[in-house]
């Protein structure tokens, strides 16, 4: 078979997480013929079970990960600019805990954090008197007099993935969810890739000049069992779990707490009515599809938060738990918390023909940089685009100033006065300027169709089916939105029936069944 043999794709990507979808977007924007297959829903694995942060990773400085922290810090404002609807700035409060890291050490780390990444917009660090500041109010009196406040950003992680996939598709990529790659083989200069529709069991063979293995926790399985290559790099599966409780305090700042075992735990205002607490770090030996927050992890997170807050966090306060498996590169670190979060590529070039690139590790914050590096590793040029074009072209729904969310909400609210202010605010936070497409053509609230609860309407669900690959109630409630925390059993049942009528029976997902409030 000649090097000029026709193929379905220049690049076929296995895995619909943030790395796979980020690569798909970048490659499609460069004019390449791109395909992506995902065995479940987009962002159904690691990418939707994060701490929901775009951050430099303050704690990584202790492990001398200066390159990673620099790259991540530089990405915060870049990502905020291209997706201001799903990314917004946060201020984190780091109380000084006597007996743990000394105050001078914390201040030095934050000085580096302020200056490593070329920060231009986000405000820098300041010292707090927690006996006077509102941020000291929820903390135990007399224990935490001094603290530091610094900047990072929040992100809707699953929506970040979906928007990258949507942009890739708009630029010509083929995105196929519920499509499992079951095997691949080289034939001359091409890959022949067997895929299976998990809904029907139907199989077909696709061809591609190059493969990218972005399967996350399944990266080694895909490479070894389905591609038939022996990975030199090793993946280290690290479990990270979170708990969600009713809102613990009224102000909008976050906390980063030191723990006695050297880890850190975040406390973050979440979806207006809740507080998100996490994460844990523990090696995970089991099937990534069966990961779930353990009793031990729940007790650990409750104890860590209760060490700082005046009001203890108890198990009965929890409304939701979730857990994910991070597919880290195994650098031989003795503890899971010390394992590198940087990404590592392994390229099998097939003696110069039909290469496969496998991705180990990575962070949501650096997904865009990872995509550029992956394409460079494969020797793919930028085409008509500058190599960093993804830093400037907005993601779908973006294209407005980073401080323009409120103005956009007001403008669309005036154009569609029948949409309640809280409803429009949620739509803008999820869809940006594309919120208008959801309500376009409606003259009244009734025109938006069936209401499932928590401002979710048939008009929005139809948009998610037609534009964002939603196929089940779980897709809508726990990835395209987090409304599963707000919509009761009756509304969820009606949504499931609506989705089944539109899309057929729900897909047989092989992901953790943890998308339900406690």
Task: Give the residue-averaged pLDDT of 308-334.
Answer: 92
**pLDDT, tens digit (0-9, with 9 covering 90-100), for 419-432:** 999 999 999 999 99
Same domain? 91 vs 127: yes
Q: Which of 330, 358, 373 is where one domain is finished?
A: 330
In a domain, 199, yes or no: yes
| Gap between the Cα atoms of 264 and 258, Å rounded | 5
| Domain count along the chain | 3
Contact call for residues 159 and 271 (beta carbons, < 8 A) = no
What whole-number distance in Å separates Cα of residue 99 and Cα of residue 260? 9
Q: Is the pLDDT of residue 9 over 80?
A: yes
Percent of the chain scoring above 90 in pLDDT: 84
Which pLDDT value is given to residue 514? 55
262 part of a folded domain: yes
Both 222 and 350 in one domain: the answer is yes
Residues 29 and 167 in one domain: yes
What is the phi/psi pair of residue 128, to 5°? -115, 140
Instruction: Give pLDDT tens digits for 406-416.
Output: 999 999 999 99
What is the rounded distance in angstroms from the CA atom of residue 248 to the CA atom of residue 268? 10
Burial level of 140, CB count in 10 A (0-12/13-18/19+)?
middle
Residue ranges of alpha helices (H) inside 173-265 are 219-221
pLDDT value at residue 4 = 55
Say if 375 falls within a structural domain: yes
Count of alpha carbons within 13 Å of 254, Cβ hemisphere only? 26
Q: Measured between alpha carbons, how far is 331 from 30 in angstroms, rounded to an integer?
A: 33
Whether residue 492 sits in one domain with residue 419: yes
Show the domain range for 449. Answer: 405-503
Query: Is pLDDT above 50 for 369?
Result: yes
Q: Compute how many other C-beta atoms are within 10 angstroms of the C-beta atom of residue 259.
A: 17
More confident residue, 65 or 508: 65
Tell whether the model's pLDDT for residue 342 goes beyond 90: no
* Domain-terminating residue out of 300, 330, 360: 330
Tell me: do 281 and 429 sit in the same domain: no
Q: Average pLDDT, stretch 472-478?
A: 94
- Strand, helix or coil for residue 65: coil
For residue 331, the model assigns a pLDDT of: 83
Question: Which one has a higher pLDDT value, 392 or 349?
Answer: 392
CA dihedral over 32, 35, 41, 45, signed as positive or negative: negative
Q: Which two tokens stand for residue 95?
A: 């109380």
Retrieve residue 177's tokens.
Answer: 């969810």
pLDDT of 510 above 60:
no
CATH number at residue 118: 3.30.9.10
Closest-CA residue to 14 (of 245, 181, 198, 190): 181
Examine the domain organization and report whether 487 and 356 are in the same domain.
no
Residues 6+ apart with CB under 8 A from 513: none
Q: Which of 460, 470, 467 is nearest to 177 (CA)?
A: 470
Residue 293 lies inside a defined structural domain of this protein: yes
Residue 358: strand pairing partners: 213, 346
Least confident of 105-119, 323-337, 365-379: 323-337
Confidence of residue 387 (pLDDT cuts 50, 70, 90): confident
The verdict on residue 111 lying in a domain is yes
Q: What is the DSSP string of 147-203?
A: EEEEEEEEE-HHHHHHHHHHHHHHTT-EEESSEEEEEEEEETTEEEEEEEETTT--E
Residue 345, pLDDT > 50, answer yes
Backbone φ and ψ of 264, nearest 5°? -130, 155
pLDDT classification of 224: cutoffs 50, 70, 90: confident
Please determine, for residue 303, whether its predicted confidence score (pLDDT) is greater than 50.
yes
359 CB-near residues (< 8 Å, 6+ apart)? 19, 212, 213, 214, 219, 343, 344, 345, 370, 374
Q: What is the pLDDT of residue 400?
A: 98
Q: What average pLDDT does the segment 449-467 reach? A: 98
Phi/psi of residue 353, nearest 5 degrees = -130, 140
The answer to whether residues 218 and 240 belong to one domain is no
Q: Average the pLDDT over each of 57-71, 150-164, 402-416 and give the range with the smallest value.
A: 57-71
Query: pLDDT grade, residue 513 (50/70/90)?
Result: very low
Residue 347: give its domain's CATH number: 3.50.50.60
Give yes or no for residue 1 having a pLDDT over 60: no
Across 318-323, average pLDDT: 95
pLDDT at 308 over 50: yes
Is 66 among the domain residues? no
Let me know if residue 516 belongs to a domain: no
**Confidence grade of residue 332 (pLDDT, cut at 50, 70, 90):** confident
Both 247 and 137 in a single domain? yes
Give me the pLDDT at residue 5, please.
61
- Within-domain flag for 396: no
Q: Write down the pLDDT at residue 47.
A: 95
Say if residue 315 is in the same domain as residue 443: no
80: region left, alpha or beta (phi > 0 left; psi from -120 to 50 alpha): alpha
pLDDT for 2: 39
Say how many Å lie between the first and final Cα of the chain, rounded.
56
pLDDT at 509: 63
Q: Average pLDDT of 50-74?
A: 93
CATH number of the domain residue 477 falls in: 1.10.8.870
pLDDT confidence tier of residue 216, bands split at 50, 70 and 90: very high
Residue with token string 């376009």: 440
303 and 250 in a common domain: yes
> Band of the pLDDT at 518, cuts 50, 70, 90?
very low
**Is the peptide bond between 244 and the residue preceding it cis, with omega within 30 degrees of 0?**
no
Q: What is the largest CA-CA distance in the chain?
A: 76
Co-location of 118 and 243 in the same domain: yes
Closest CA to 193 of 202, 177, 205: 205
Q: Which of 309, 330, 351 is the last residue of a domain?
A: 330
Q: To which H or E segment does residue 451 belong?
A: strand 451-453
CA dihedral 455, 246, 272, 310 (to 10 degrees): 170
Q: Is the pLDDT at 516 greater than 50, yes or no?
A: no
pLDDT at 404 over 70: yes
Structure tokens at 279: 């994460």
According to the model, what pLDDT value does residue 351 have?
75
Same domain flag for 266 and 415:
no
**Which residue, 492, 489, 488, is CA-closest to 475?**
492
């Amino acid at each position: 078979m000649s090097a000029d043999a026709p193929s379905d794709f220049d690049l076929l990507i296995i895995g619909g997480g943030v790395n796979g979808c980020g690569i798909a977007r970048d490659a499609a924007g460069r004019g390449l013929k791109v395909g992506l297959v995902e065995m479940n829903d987009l962002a159904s694995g690691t990418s939707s079970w994060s701490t929901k942060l775009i951050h430099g990773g303050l704690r990584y400085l202790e492990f001398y990960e200066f390159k990673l922290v620099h790259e991540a810090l530089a990405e915060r404002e870049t990502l905020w600019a291209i997706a201001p609807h799903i990314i917004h700035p946060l201020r984190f409060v780091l109380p000084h805990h006597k007996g743990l890291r000394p105050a001078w050490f914390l201040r030095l780390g934050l000085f580096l954090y302020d200056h490593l990444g070329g920060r231009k917009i986000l405000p820098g660090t300041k010292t707090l008197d927690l006996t006077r500041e509102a941020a000291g109010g929820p903390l135990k009196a007399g224990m935490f007099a001094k603290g530091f406040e610094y900047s990072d950003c929040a992100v809707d992680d699953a929506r970040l993935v979906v928007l990258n996939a949507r942009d890739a598709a708009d630029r010509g990529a083929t995105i196929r969810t519920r499509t499992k790659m079951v095997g691949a083989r080289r034939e001359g200069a091409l890959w022949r890739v067997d895929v299976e529709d998990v809904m029907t069991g139907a199989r077909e063979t696709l061809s591609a000049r190059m493969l990218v293995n972005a399967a996350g926790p399944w990266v080694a399985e895909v490479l070894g069992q389905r591609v038939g290559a022996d990975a030199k790099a090793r993946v280290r599966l690290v479990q990270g779990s979170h708990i969600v409780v009713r809102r613990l305090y009224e102000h909008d700042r976050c906390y980063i707490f030191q723990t006695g075992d050297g880890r850190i735990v975040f406390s973050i205002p979440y979806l207006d009515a809740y507080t998100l607490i996490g994460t844990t770090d523990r090696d995970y030996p089991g099937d990534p599809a069966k990961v779930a927050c353990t009793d031990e992890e729940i007790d650990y997170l409750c104890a860590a938060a209760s060490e700082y807050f005046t009001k203890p966090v108890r198990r009965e306060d929890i409304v939701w738990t979730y857990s994910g498996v991070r597919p880290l590169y195994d650098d031989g670190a003795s503890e899971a918390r010390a394992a590198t979060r940087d990404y590592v590529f392994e390229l099998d070039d097939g003696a110069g023909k039909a290469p496969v690139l496998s991705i180990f590790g990575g962070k949501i914050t650096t997904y865009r940089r990872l995509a550029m590096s992956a394409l460079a590793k494969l020797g793919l040029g930028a085409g008509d685009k500058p190599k960093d074009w993804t830093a400037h072209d907005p993601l779908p729904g973006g294209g407005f100033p980073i401080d323009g969310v409120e103005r956009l909400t007001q403008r669309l609210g005036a154009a569609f006065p029948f949409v309640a202010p809280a409803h429009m605010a949620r739509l803008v936070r999820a869809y940006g300027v594309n919120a208008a497409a959801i309500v376009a053509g409606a003259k009244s609230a009734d025109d938006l169709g069936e209401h499932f609860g928590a401002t979710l309407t048939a008009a929005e669900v139809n948009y998610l089916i037609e534009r964002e690959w939603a196929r089940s109630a779980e897709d809508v409630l726990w990835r395209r939105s987090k409304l599963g925390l707000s919509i009761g059993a009756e509304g969820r049942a009606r949504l499931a029936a609506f989705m089944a009528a539109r899309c057929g029976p729900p897909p047989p997902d092989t992901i953790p069944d943890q998308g339900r409030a406690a």
